[in-house]
Amino acid sequence: MTEEETHFDARVLELVRKGDEEKVSLLKNLNKKILPSQLVRIQKNDKTVLSELFLPKWVKWSLLQSWASKYKLAGKGNECVLCSEKNELGIDFNNNFICENCFVRLKNLK
């Protein structure tokens, strides 16, 4: 778990301890309030997305970034069955995509 994820989880835990169920519910349902395109912009540190979001004042940018860090950036290409990373270069083997990096590692094991 990274420091950013710890920040979000710590904030949720703090609100649970205080018994503020409304704020906890809002944080747990952020994925329903934020579009995928906005999520990508948050991950890229584009603060102009704040003007498009209808969130309470207590939701700070650092909290949004720590929440967004839990999700992977949408990349181009296929998802590798070995490392779960998106990559454009690789091979299809038995209807499964293996990225170039994993293929090279497997090839060097011989």
Domain count, the chain: 2
Range of the domain at 97: 78-108
Q: Are 38 and 47 in contact (CB under 8 A)?
A: no
pLDDT in tens, 68-78: 888 765 567 78
User: 59 and 28 in one domain?
Assistant: yes
Instruction: Tell me the per-residue pLDDT of 3-23, one tens digit each, with 9 for 90 and over.
Output: 555 788 999 999 999 999 999
Domain assignment present for 38:
yes
pTM (predicted TM-score): 0.62
- Assigned domain for 73 exists: no
